[in-house]
Amino acid sequence: MKFTTIALGSAISVAYAAVPGDRSQFAERATYAVVGKPEGFATGTTGGGSAACAIPSNVAELKTWLTDSTARCIVLDKEYNFKGTEGTTTETGCRPASNTCPGNGGQDAINKASWCTNGNAGAGVTSISVTYDTAGVAGINVRSNKSIIGVGSKGVIRGKGLRIANGAKNVIIQNIHITELNPQYIWGGDAITVDGADLVWVDHCKVSLIGRQMFVAGTGASNRVTLSNNEFDGSTSWSATCDGHHYWAIYLTGSSDLITMKNNYIHHTSGRSPKVGGNSLVHAVNNYWYANSGHAFDNGAGGMVVAEGNVFQNVVTPLLENAGQFFGSPSTSANMVCSTYLGHNCQLNSFGSSGTLGGTDTAFLANFKGKSIASASTASSSVTSLAGVGKI
């Protein structure tokens, strides 16, 4: 049987197989594959490998495939809506001190981990009744050796996040939009969680309308992670800072985590973009921060960050504090130190209508030696046209 293949983009092709005895008839089949390979710490991640790609018929089958022990290539060519699949929960939550605009764009809170009652909600917290979609607060526990890829901009997971944890490894999430996890509530849900995992590559995804974290690396060691070409969209009608910007964005406080952030577009946030700590080693290179009304980096104790070749546009505070170690690529001459440890001179960051970054710590750079390090180029706003779904 002879096949003629017509390319329909880098991720998809359609092969037409001539039917013997009737050359006017053609059988059509679509083939899918992960596009490209990860750079940085997650180099070598293969996901489902050579497993045949398949499209789940509904949310139940998607969940089954993600949670089983079989190596899989899972293709999403439509929206998978988990809202309502686990019912709703009504319980006592709170109106935290941060919600100074109740009923007018503020964000109330679910009392997860006693957050409302252990002092984290601030002084003068008010108990209120909250009703939320139950599916959103707990992510699907993705097992090892999975590739999850979207078709064009059609692959959407609504109302539930993904969680790679408890020893899971070798997972690729590419070209998927995760959205609407109880965005009106703090603790309403996390889009992508990594906790005690290894070799995770999240690429060309979009995250929007999330109650809590868009990406979170939990307290367990997550050895090698790369976030590349993603759009973290903080535009929201329920803001912890009452300004239409999402505060809880990217949280990297795991134990000895290795995180590469490259070519990501992070916009309309107001804080924790990212929050770093817990002995995490972070290489933030060629990302674009835009319209951040608060802070981008918050480097807590134990956090080790190299930030190079990034653009900060309309970012009030690029670095809130540095209680750990931070190298912000301060000058061409100072950046030459990177060549010994990262294999290249670090690139200058770019600032437009923004505060300064700072950060001149260098002793920790030895931790990069011998690891897979992403390349760096001159800071550019072109990231905005390349990051997110449907741009691969």
- 149-184 pLDDT, tens digit each: 999 999 999 999 999 999 999 999 999 999 999 999
Mean per-residue pLDDT, 240-261: 96
- The phi-psi region of residue 82 (left if phi > 0; otherwise alpha if psi is between -120 and 50; otherwise beta) is alpha
**Residues 38-79 pLDDT 10s:** 999 999 999 999 999 999 999 999 999 999 999 999 999 999
**Residues 271-303 pLDDT 10s:** 999 999 999 999 999 999 999 999 999 999 999
- SS3 track for 324-370: CEEECCCCCCHHHHHHHHHCCCCCCCEEECCCCCCCECCHHHHHHCC
**Residues 4-44 pLDDT 10s:** 332 333 344 333 233 333 333 323 346 899 999 999 999 99
Active site residues: 272
- Inter-CA distances, 16 with 19, 22, 54, 169, Å: 9, 13, 18, 36
CATH 2.160.20.10 boundaries in the chain: 53-85+94-386
**Residues 79-128 pLDDT 10s:** 999 999 999 999 999 999 999 999 999 999 999 999 999 999 999 899 99
Which pTM was predicted? 0.93
* Average pLDDT of every residue of the chain: 93
Pairwise CA distance, residues 134 & 69, whole Å: 25
218: pLDDT confidence band, cut at 50, 70 and 90?
confident
Cα angle, residue 383 at apex, residues 81 and 321 outer, rounded to 5°: 90
CATH architecture of 53-85+94-386: 3 Solenoid (2.160)
Per-residue pLDDT, 220? 86
